[in-house]
Amino acid sequence: MLNKAMILAAGLGTRLKPWTDHHPKALALVNGKPLLQRNIEYLQQFGIYDVVVNVHHYAQQIIDAVTHNNGWGSKISFSNETDAVLETGGGLKRAATYFEGTDHFVLMNADILTDLKIDQMLVQHSENNALATLAVTERKTSRYLLFNENNLLCGWMNDKSGEIKGHLGNKKAFSGIHIIQASLLRLITEEGKFSIIDVYLRLCNNYKIRAYDHSSGLLQDVGKPESITLAEKLFP
């Protein structure tokens, strides 16, 4: 059963200036509705009403918005990172106790909007007994995850610099949504500030980290001011 999630909302949002000079990126408005609210309501479509949100940049604004709106119908907890931004891996590790007693959970970025069917992604995740399943699409970007012929993670590459970690494979653009077995949390040995992708790359030779391709659906990264205009056309 999938009933818990974490929304990553601690980033500085430097690409979204000038909004983020005075507000957290997670509260940027798309057709009058904050990104955070949209993603809380998105998770509700799949029966997920128990969510932890990590906070750093203008943390109190996020806490106040959630409190004022009664969590938009969900139970919202906060993982405080006001002392330091821990990135995706460090942020998840700090919030690990929140997932005790859970089999699987969703991890997602606050600044993406999508119509990805999490229930269908969970079916594939469970059928393949994956440690983690990563939503991906066939789109052009600067950094790619690399997957082998069995759709398992084998590497990462930066298309601009040519840097490669791991092994070459089929290039897929990561969508910022994961379904993760809670047992992965015990395998995180990294400390401080680190990316969850580096954890996956360390583990992928011994554990199944799978791709879930949803290229036929909608996905919008709302990281820049111009992307808000695009998002407003896709997500009323």
State the average pLDDT over residues 189-195. 97
Residue showing tokens 């015990």: 186
Q: How many C-beta atoms lie closer than 10 Å to residue 21's C-beta?
A: 10
pLDDT at residue 184 is higher than 90: yes
Q: Where do the structural domains in the chain lie, given as residue ranges? A: 4-234
Mention every residue, 6+ apart, whose C-beta is less than 8 A from residue 143: 156, 157, 158, 159, 174
Cis peptide bond upstream of 225, omega within 30: no
pLDDT at residue 21 is higher than 90: no
Top-confidence residue, 99 or 1: 99
Q: How confident is the model at residue 156 (pLDDT cuts 50, 70, 90)?
A: very high
- Cα distances (Å, whole numbers) of residue 90 to 67, 176, 196: 25, 16, 8
The C-alpha angle with vertex 49 and arms to 130 and 3, in degrees rounded to 5, equals 25
Spatial contact of 175 and 114, defined as CB atoms under 8 Å apart: yes
Q: Structurally, what CATH architecture does the domain formed by 4-234 represent? A: Alpha-Beta Complex (3.90)
Top-confidence residue, 123 or 228: 123
pLDDT at 15: 75
State the average pLDDT over residues 101-111. 97
Q: How confident is the model at residue 13 (pLDDT cuts 50, 70, 90)?
A: low
Task: Tell me the C-alpha distance between 36 and 162, whole Å.
Answer: 34
Percent of the chain with pLDDT over 90: 91
Q: How confident is the model at residue 68 (pLDDT cuts 50, 70, 90)?
A: very high
pLDDT at residue 89 is higher than 90: yes
- Altogether, the residues listed in the chain come to a count of 236
pLDDT tens digits, residue range 124-142?
999 999 999 999 999 999 9
Top-confidence residue, 85 or 173: 173
| Residue 140 CB burial class (10 angstroms; 0-12, 13-18, ≥19) | exposed
pLDDT tens digits, residue range 194-222?
999 999 999 999 999 999 999 999 999 99
State the average pLDDT over residues 35-64. 97
Spatial contact of 110 and 25, defined as CB atoms under 8 Å apart: yes
Sign of the C-alpha dihedral computed for residues 17, 143, 57 and 182 taken in this order: positive
Sign of the C-alpha dihedral computed for residues 62, 75, 111 and 188 taken in this order: positive
What is the value of pTM for the model shown?
Answer: 0.96
Q: How confident is the model at residue 100 (pLDDT cuts 50, 70, 90)?
A: very high
